[in-house]
Amino acid sequence: MVYASHNMALCSQCYDCIKSCPGQALSVVEGVMYHSKNNCTLCENCTDVCDSNAIEVKI
């Protein structure tokens, strides 16, 4: 199972991860990060742009 693990305690809330996602797999609703497994392309752009290491893709 593929999913994005996001640690809001580490998040700087820049949301560069959301902006970098070509599949629009990431979203934030009321301060909670959501990951759509169906839209994820496993490109790991989200982890590459996260300076605070708050997000990682787990396979």
Question: Could you tell me how many residues make up the chain?
Answer: 59
Query: What is the topology classification, in CATH, of domain 3-58?
Result: Alpha-Beta Plaits (3.30.70)
For residues 42 and 32, give the distance between their C-alpha atoms in angstroms, rounded to a whole number: 21
The number of C-alpha atoms within 13 Å of 11 and in the hemisphere containing its C-beta is: 18
Q: How do beta strands 32-35 and 55-58 pair? A: unpaired
pTM: 0.82
Tens-place pLDDT, residues 1-58: 667 788 889 999 999 999 999 999 999 999 888 888 899 888 999 999 999 999 888 7
Residue boundaries of the structural domains of the chain: 3-58
How many C-beta atoms lie closer than 10 Å to residue 24's C-beta?
Answer: 10
